[in-house]
Amino acid sequence: MVFPELRSTENYAMKNPAITSDLSQLSLCFFIKLVQDQGDQIVVSYASEDSNDLTVEIYPTRTDFYVDFKLFRFTSINLYDDTWQHLCLTWENNQGVMKLYKDGQFTEQVTNHATKNYTLKAGGFLVLGQEQDSIGGGFDHNQTFHGRLASVNMWDKVLSESDIAAQYINCSVPHGSVINWSLFKNLTRGNVAVEEP
């Protein structure tokens, strides 16, 4: 899926409702290719009636993940190198732990106790390429994604390290139990292009 260089709030893919049952843990994985020096960009956002439940925001020097506006910041990776990279994050609400995997390898772990016992609510909007300041809208063109995305999938469990490594090594991803990448190909808006391998 190609998000064009000319940033626009018209360019995104959206599914609603995206999640059919509340989530106390998850794994979100995708392949991404980012051009250098593009500033901050929103890759994924999920919003329900209560809040922005989940946001993935990538900067040149860090990657920020938000669960219910609570920040998990990872500074150990740089994704702005114009090559395909595989990213997975896992989160669970027992301890509020999020783990980041890059190219099949565990990279960093961050704990935010404020997300303990939190659940992502079902029935919200999941958007690729934009942040939602209102449910299903309120986009800001300065945060619009510019780059390439593939195999965006979400599961309702914490995937094992071996499962995550296999996704990268085999370059093939099983369908997510919560979010299935194949569904997004028909849900693009604006000038987002779908390229088949």
Average model confidence (pLDDT) across the chain: 91
Checking if the pLDDT of 150 tops 70, the result is: yes
Domain-by-domain residue ranges, the chain?
2-189
Q: Please, which pLDDT band fits residue 108 given cuts at 50, 70 and 90?
A: very high
Q: Which amino acid is at 184?
A: F
CB 30 within 8 A of CB 81: no
CB 91 within 8 A of CB 98: yes
Query: What does pTM read for this prediction?
Result: 0.94
pLDDT at 121: 92
Alpha carbon distances (Å) from 152 to 61, 123, 129, 142, 173: 22, 19, 12, 22, 9
Tokens of 163: 């499962």
Alpha carbon distances (Å) from 173 to 2, 62, 106: 19, 25, 17
In CATH, which of 3.30.110.70, 2.40.50.140, 2.60.120.200, 3.40.50.2300 is domain 2-189?
Answer: 2.60.120.200
CA-CA distance, 171 to 173, in Å (whole number)? 7
Alpha carbon distances (Å) from 116 to 11, 48, 69, 121, 158: 34, 19, 13, 15, 15
pLDDT at 50: 63
